[in-house]
Structure 1
Amino acid sequence: MGLIRGVARTAVIAGTATAVSNRVSRRQAGRWANQEQEQAAQQQQAAQAAAQQQAAQQQASQQQSGGMDAKIEQLKQLADLKAQGVLTDAEFEAQKSRLLGS
């Protein structure tokens, strides 16, 4: 009877150890999965922020180049008015300085 009792006791201990080990493994796997999800979310947010910043820079660049094109066109119009005699040299220089902001 002692042998059966020893074998049964060993089986219970082994079963308990297996159950505990499985529970710990599942809990740890859940923690790792949560960490991976958090890291993926952070990377996605960083990528979105970078894309927004790049879009803002492109828009600012386009606005600056668009503003320069408009200034060039206005300078051409001023030069035409000066060539036609509508503007004097002083008026042309004043308008050019105002336009170029210097």
Structure 2
Amino acid sequence: MGLLRAAARTAVIAGTATHVHGRVAARQQSRWAQQTAAPPAVAAPISPERDTATLIAQLKELGQLRDAGVLSEAEFEVQKARILQR
């Protein structure tokens, strides 16, 4: 009877492990599919109809914040790139 009990217990453990493995594999496959399906974000090209005056005003204000010490040089460069990529 001990051998039969051990065999049944092993079968239950193996079945549980197989079930868990299947669920984990399906979840990983779903995540990988979502990552490959989403196209990488591309910055929009600068359109000629943008308001140049607004763009210049934003850059001037950004420069003033840098000169006043509110922004570091690195922060200034990041924000300037963000404004120019719109």
TM-score if structure 2 supplies the norm length? Answer: 0.48
Larger radius of gyration: 1
TM-score by length of structure 1 reads 0.42
